[in-house]
Amino acid sequence: MIRAIHHATFLSDELARSRAFYEGVLGLQADPSRPAMGFEGVWYRLHSGQQIHLMGLPNPPTDPQRPAHGGRDRHLALAVGDLPALMARLEGAGIPYTLSRSGRRALFCRDPDGNALEFIGTAEI
């Protein structure tokens, strides 16, 4: 079911400083195709379709509770071949999830320890 790691996401409370590191030190180039998401951020594409996402959100978060939607939390994104099948499995196990707010074919849930996971439906990987 899981095909690959799609992206890892990090919070950044000083996006300019983080960009200087990822672009200036590591030599990555910002991907201009990042959709508007209601907060600042940048995506970097790596080889094999993998990505690093920086989210311009408070770090550490100002709210001691983790966000209800995992897309606004540190998370690991995994590519899956059949997103509807995964949705059915999560529902059958009683695990709540939220759909991506960016309009992509993706969902977010949390593991038993509260870690956010994103699953992206893709046939390309």
Measured over the CA atoms of residue 7, residue 102, residue 79 and residue 111, the dihedral's sign is positive
Task: Say whether pLDDT at 125 is over 50.
Answer: no
Apex 50 CA angle, 15 and 68, nearest 5: 60
Question: Taking residues 22-33, what's their average pLDDT?
Answer: 87
Superfamily of domain 2-121 in the CATH hierarchy = 2,3-Dihydroxybiphenyl 1,2-Dioxygenase, domain 1 (3.10.180.10)
Beta bridge partners of 110: 116
Q: Domain locations in the chain?
A: 2-121
Q: Collapsing DSSP states into helix, strand and coil, what is residue 58?
A: coil
Question: Taking residues 5-15, what's their average pLDDT?
Answer: 86
Model confidence pLDDT, tens digit, residues 57-109: 877 767 777 777 777 777 888 888 899 999 998 999 999 999 988 888 999 98
pTM value surpassing 0.85: no
How confident is the model at residue 42, as a pLDDT? 94
